[in-house]
Amino acid sequence: MTAAPRPGAWAPRVPGAPPAERAGTPPRRAPGAPAKVWFVGAGPGAADLVTLRGARVIAEADVVVWAASLVHPEVVAGAAGERLDSSQLTLEEVCAVYDRAAAQGLRVARVHSGDPSLYGAIGEQIAYCDRLGLDWEIVPGVSSLAAAAAVAGRELTVPEVGQSVIITRLPTATPMPPGEEVRELARHGTTMALFLSAKRGRRLQQELLAGGYPPDTPCLVAYRVTWPEELLAWCRLDELARTLRDARLHKHTLILVGPALAAEGTRSLLYDPAFAHEFRPARA
């Protein structure tokens, strides 16, 4: 492995890639520090919802690869290294950045919206890093699911109403595995979080109703939660397609469905005086 290049001197040799954005002071790194890729969760939007570890990794990276179409610019504003917009790159072009990192001892922050483990397409990138022998680490982020529930002021797991959350989407270019169709999962009747599905609102509504949700099941439509243009809209399930259409929402939108969104439910036993655990005896 070669020594790290002069700060600010590196640019990827990627056909058709946009020029790197220059940031301020180059990151400080120990001479000869090993190459590594961090898959960093950018959170739902607001820069102050990035974890402390994520912010540190971004600030210290030689190269920050981020999707400008999905990640708020303030999240990478503190980056001292070069910035590359992954929304203009293919997987092969991103992997070319990892090739150069392995060859030159660079540290790369690959910034994904929300949490990288949810629809982050990190699996193929990790496999490539493994083939290179390039060290990597995942830095979790706050998902838009958690952010939407927080902004709406809702608990998603309400005692005796809904104790499960199903995370899924409608099939698009990527098909769904057998048994994971929305209508099949809807049969559970619990809370569902539907990513990447707003563009097909009418089909989504039909699938949810076919799965057994009553027409008056509460839904929350959450667009760019914690961004300045954030939009939340409550509706019944039989109004979902119209709500999406009227608001002209087809991307950057999460949809929550289920009875737990409206019900108060019953009291949790965890803090009931009669419930004992290793830190607290039961109190009559």
- Report all structural domains of the chain as residue ranges with CATH numbers, in order of start: 36-139 (3.40.1010.10), 144-261 (3.30.950.10)
Residue with tokens 């952010």: 147
Q: Is the pLDDT of residue 114 over 50?
A: yes
Q: Is the pLDDT of residue 25 over 50?
A: no
pLDDT at residue 274, as a whole number: 67
Greater confidence (224 vs 8) lies with 224
59 close to 79: Cβ distance less than 8 angstroms: yes
262 close to 269: Cβ distance less than 8 angstroms: no
Q: What is the pLDDT of residues 66-77, one digit of tens each?
A: 999 999 999 999
pLDDT at residue 24, as a whole number: 45
61 close to 109: Cβ distance less than 8 angstroms: yes
Amino acid at 193: A
pLDDT at residue 254, as a whole number: 97
Helix/strand/coil (H/E/C) assignment for every residue in the chain? CCCCCCCCCCCCCCCCCCCCECCCCCCCCCCCCCCEEEEEECECCCHHHCCHHHHHHHHHCCEEEECCCCCCHHHHCCCCCEEEEHHHCCHHHHHHHHHHHHHHCCEEEEEECECCCCCCCCHHHHHHHHHHCCEEEEECCCCHHHHHHHHHCCCCCECCCECCEEEEECCCCCCCCCCCCHHHHHCCCCEEEEECCHHHHHHHHHHHHHCCCCCCCEEEEEECCCCCCCEEEEEEHHHHHHHHHHHCCCCCEEEEECHHHCCCCCCCHHHCCCCCECCECCCC
Average pLDDT over residues 133-155: 95
Rounded Cα gap, residues 111 and 101, in angstroms:
16
Least confident of 106-115, 177-186, 263-272: 263-272
Q: How confident is the model at residue 40 (pLDDT cuts 50, 70, 90)?
A: very high
Share of the chain above pLDDT 70, in %: 87
Q: Is the pLDDT of residue 268 over 90?
A: no
- Neighbouring CB atoms inside 10 A of 5's CB total 14
pLDDT at residue 1, as a whole number: 33
Output the six-digit token pair for 60: 């210290």
pTM: 0.82
Average pLDDT over residues 45-63: 96
Q: Is the pLDDT of residue 18 over 60?
A: no
Q: Is the pLDDT of residue 278 over 60?
A: yes
Q: How confident is the model at residue 22 (pLDDT cuts 50, 70, 90)?
A: very low
Q: Is the pLDDT of residue 158 over 70?
A: yes
* Average predicted confidence (pLDDT) for the chain: 87
Rounded Cα gap, residues 185 and 197, in angstroms:
15
Selection from 147, 144, 187 nearest residue 164 by Cα: 187
62 close to 81: Cβ distance less than 8 angstroms: yes
190 close to 166: Cβ distance less than 8 angstroms: yes
Residue with tokens 């959350």: 165
75 close to 113: Cβ distance less than 8 angstroms: no
Chain CA centroid to CA 169, Å: 14
